[in-house]
Amino acid sequence: MRVAVRIDGVVQGVGFRPFVYGLATRLGLSGHVGNDASGVFAEVEGDAAATEEFLRAVAADAPPLAAVEGVWSHEIAPTGGVGFVIVASPQGDAASTLISADPATCGDCLREMADAADRRYQYPFINCTQCGPRFTIVRGVPYDRPLTTMAGFAMCDDCAAEYADAADRRFHAQPVCCPACGPRLRLAGPADAAAAPDDTVDLLAEAANRLRDGQVLAVKGLGGFHLATDATHPTASATLRARKHREDKPFAVMVPDLAAARELCEVSDVDAELLTSRRRPIVLLPKLPGTPVADAVAPGNRRLGVMLPYTPLHHLLLAGVGRPIVLTSGNVSDEPIVYRDEDVDRLDTIADAVLTHDRPIHIRTDDSVVRSFRGTAQVQRRSRGYVPEAVPLDFDVGRHILACGAELKNTFCVAKGRHAFLSHHIGDLKNFETLRSFTEGIEHFRALFDVQPEVVAYDLHPEYLSTKYALDLSDVDVVGVQHHHAHIASCLADNRESGAVLGVAFDGTGYGTDGTIWGGEFLLADLTSFRRLGLIDSVSMPGGATAITQPWRMAVAYLDRAYGDELPELDVVARNAADWLAVRSMARSGVNAPSTSSAGRLFDAVAALLGVRDAINYEGQAAIELEQCADPSERGGYHAAVTGTDPLRVSGVDLVRACVADLRAGVSRGVVAARFHNGVADVIARVCDRLRASTGVGTVALSGGVFQNLLLLGATVDALERREFRVLVHSRVPTNDGGISLGQAVIAARQAVAADPAHPAVMGVQNSAS
């Protein structure tokens, strides 16, 4: 019998055709296998038992990097052919295959790279079907060498023989190369002549020496340039901070192996799995006392972002340096990571030298960031190693969807069929370079996944660049999605739920349907609609956006609401006495002082009150440092009143008054911070209790950037579970604004499906051409 087979999923760039070839050959089947724009196709011919075993094993025994989503087959007329072959990929079909993320260097390649007798000894671009660049070098589909940035490197005879040998690990490995025919390193500095490109060992030794001497190197990686320096050097990290204008935000550290990570941090079993996984993200870990990493790497932070090498170049460089290195995004402050060689001069004022190579990067991709929470992984930034793998959906979205995301930590999302493709981390959409990265990324995803957007979702904030981009598109239906509804929908999609849930969306800023700034929201929500059932009682934001960067202004607003003209003597008042009365007048008048229910701004106010931070130099810094100073052993908590009916209102002022009372009584700052966190968790649970009584809904979804706070998240989950709530939290997509676009996409899809096609204005859909 002869059977035509179609395999869908992540089946290109993962060694799937060689796997099929070997499977068919082992079973004595004739036929062929190939890639096309939809995935992998095959025809197999032989006896019925062998054919049935083939259909079972093609999914069950697939290569480690593959993710088979479906196998379809039907019987066709036998041809009587003999032998099994890999056939060329047809061109011109519409793309619907799934592309693999970039996997870390495999053990086999590492062993070859360490073997002095191997022809790829210490070759920094060694790869095979199970590792090496994928998404970052793909220009189009199907995934074949001519459609990658390796197209310009003609294979030598030895590599071509491996590529064509069905028994070889590099059989049809598209990026296959060696020192004779592949990419080459180059080390250069502002005053250096270019080193000879074939002196790989000497180049790496020189780069390692520079790092040990405290220099800053720009190093070209998989998805862009990093800035590297010795993490243990007494002044190197401080120098990097000064040059990059990054005063306090923690740097990530790369160490050679798991044992080295355990010398710096506490590493749980889940953490170890994350660190050594093929994705190789940055993992946020509790620092051990006395760690040799310099204080300037992660100032004032109990945690350290740690990752293991994921490219051959990293492995070789770490071996040469012999100590942990800082590895942070190669960019000027607030700009996206540099990834083109012609743009590396933007790093001239930061880096002392550049370690680069001649393999082009097609799409910039930052490192992913994850952490463990109660035995599970939580993605904080979803990028290299995860993207562009699809987030599976439990329904067909129908029309093609583009969701444009928010402003901070932007990602976009395209969706078709039962897949949502969340983009790599774009960054904060506040300048031209980041906007260009956003628009280029959308065009690349549209081409890779053959998405022609018919419905475009956007945030309601009229000044977001992502919103303006969406509203400038023509011949599409546009859907405005409220920011916090998108947060909860993202959590639902992450957990493959559809609602209804009680959604607690706590973050810094989100445009409300009433035109005010939301951020402390209790919603009854599903994937189509929501009702606002509760909020943190609003206060003024004196100075508008300035209050975000100067948290003491939020202390002014809360303290004025709490005490009026009877303000007690407090350090925060004394520190800001010169401007206090003017800012208080602004808050009272409402002029340049918009109203906000933001939980993030409440945390800012308490951080300033406790002397943690009056001004910030990166987003969320005050709240992050407030968590860091809290005493995790403290079990007491403050009480906040809940008033009103529809909506319920939480008194943030009560929490501030309680903080003031304890401070004036001499209670330590760490205990006050912990009691504040516990009080917030308690009032969340009490509000949800009341809402369950009125709605009958017993599932709570927690989302928004404030829940990146592990102390708050843990206390809130505990408080809810004690009341027998079912609690949903994020795992596969970020809880912060990096996950917003997924929520927008599923809301837009559900609304479009529910709407009458003859009346596109129904369910909030309006034609952008009108």
- pLDDT tens-digit series, residues 509-563: 999 999 999 999 999 999 999 999 999 999 999 999 999 999 999 999 999 999 9
Any bridge partners for residue 74, and if so which? 4
* SS3 at position 44: strand
Distance in angstroms (rounded) separating the CA atoms of residues 40 and 70: 11
Distance in angstroms (rounded) separating the CA atoms of residues 247 and 276: 30
pLDDT at 761: 33
Closest CA to 291 of 271, 266, 318, 258: 266
Q: Is the pTM of this model over 0.85?
A: yes
pLDDT at 95: 54
According to the 3-state scheme, what is the secondary structure of 143-208?
Answer: CCHHHECCCCCCCCHHHHHHHHCCCCCCCCCCCCCCCCCCCCEEEECCCCCCCCCCCHHHHHHHHH
φ, ψ at 735 (rounded to 5°): -80, -20
Regions in the chain scoring below 50 on pLDDT: 94, 191-197, 756, 758-770
pLDDT at 766: 35
Q: Which residues lie below 8 Å from residue 385, measured CB to CB, with a gap of 6+?
A: 101, 102, 103, 104, 277, 278, 279, 280, 281, 310, 368
| CB-neighbour burial class of residue 436 (10 A; exposed 0-12, middle 13-18, buried 19+) | exposed
Place of tokens 């260009």: 436
Give the H or E element holding residue 674.
helix 669-695
The answer to whether 84 and 19 are in contact (CB under 8 A) is no
pLDDT at 602: 98
Closest CA to 337 of 226, 436, 197: 226
pLDDT at 18: 86
pLDDT at 327: 98
Q: At what angle do helices 552-563 and 577-589 cross, to 10 degrees?
A: 60
Closest CA to 36 of 91, 74, 101, 100: 91
pLDDT at 93: 53
How many helices and strands in the chain, by DSSP H and E?
A: 22, 32
Distance in angstroms (rounded) separating the CA atoms of residues 148 and 138: 4
DSSP string, 332-378: -TTSPPP-SGGGGGGGTTT-SEEEEESS--SS--PPPEEEEETTEEE
pLDDT at 767: 33
- Percentages helix, strand, coil for the chain (3-state, rounded to 5) are 35, 20, 45
Rounded to whole angstroms, the maximal C-alpha distance in the chain is: 95
List, in sequence order, the alpha helices (H) in 495-567: 546-549, 552-563
